[in-house]
Amino acid sequence: MTHSAEGWNAGLWLAVIVSGIYHGINPGMGWPLAVSAGLMERRQAALFRALGILAGGHFAAMAIILLPFSLLTTLVSWSRQIQISASLLVIGFGVFLFFNRRHPRALARIPPAKLALWSFAIAMAHGAGLMLLPIYLGLCSASQPLDPGHEAAIALASHNLTLALGVAAIHTAAMIAAGGIIAWSVYRYLGLQILSKLWINLDAFWALSLIAVGLSSIVAFIG
């Protein structure tokens, strides 16, 4: 592997972590619910338990988007078309969210007590997994064999399946670490009343970030 390829891979893994931190900072991904759990039970352990449940739901949402593409990446001859199509899907969803910022009504019907289901649903509704997709496909492209034979395809599918789970796990770890730090700080020092003063609506920025990820990925793949 050349130094440029190593730098490309390192940059993609950094993007996995940074996107996780970005998701974690966003209050829409659920850290205020962890604060609420801690305050209601008056125990710090309740906050960390809620964060763990939120992480489980978020991980499941990431994995369910990435895993199907771990099989598609065995189609080496169609790799560029798959990568560009995935990037266009991310851009299209970003444009949709930018002009349609209403959350699906089904989300309001999920009780906060079902944190894992809520975390899964909110991540899917916001396209959080889609943001990871072009990054994941970029990591996969470095693993594609020159000879797309049957045995190579099986090995590639197995490798990319593991890679998909790894990307989802590292992203979720960064997400819950960032959100957890904020949640613990609010729980320990500020209290929920601070949210009414500092709440920031990130919906437009979220949609634009999806579009930016998709466009930058297309430029990288074509280049």
Structure confidence by residue, pLDDT tens digits, 205-215 = 778 888 888 88
Residue pLDDT, tens place only, 164-196: 999 999 999 999 999 999 999 988 887 666 665
Query: Measured between alpha carbons, how far is 28 from 21 in angstroms, rounded to an integer?
Result: 13
pLDDT of residue 53: 93
The pLDDT confidence band at residue 62, using thresholds 50, 70 and 90, is very high
Does 26 have pLDDT greater than 70?
yes
Does 146 have pLDDT greater than 50?
no
Mean pLDDT of the chain: 79
CB-based burial of residue 58 (10 Å sphere; 0-12 exposed, 13-18 middle, 19+ buried)?
Answer: buried
pLDDT of residue 55: 95
Query: Measured between alpha carbons, how far is 80 from 125 in angstroms, rounded to an integer?
Result: 27
- Structural domains of the chain, count: 1
Farthest-apart Cα atoms in the chain, separation: 60
CB-based burial of residue 190 (10 Å sphere; 0-12 exposed, 13-18 middle, 19+ buried)?
Answer: middle
Q: Tokens 């999920």 map to which residue? A: 110
Whether the CA torsion 10, 11, 16, 22 is positive or negative: it is positive
pLDDT of residue 111: 63
Phi–psi pair at 102, nearest 5 degrees: -75, 130
Q: Which amino acid is at 125?
A: A
Taking the CB of residue 143, how many other CB atoms lie within 10 A of it?
Answer: 13
Phi–psi pair at 82, nearest 5 degrees: -65, -45
pLDDT of residue 179: 93
The pLDDT confidence band at residue 155, using thresholds 50, 70 and 90, is low
Q: Which domain holds residue 45?
A: 3-222
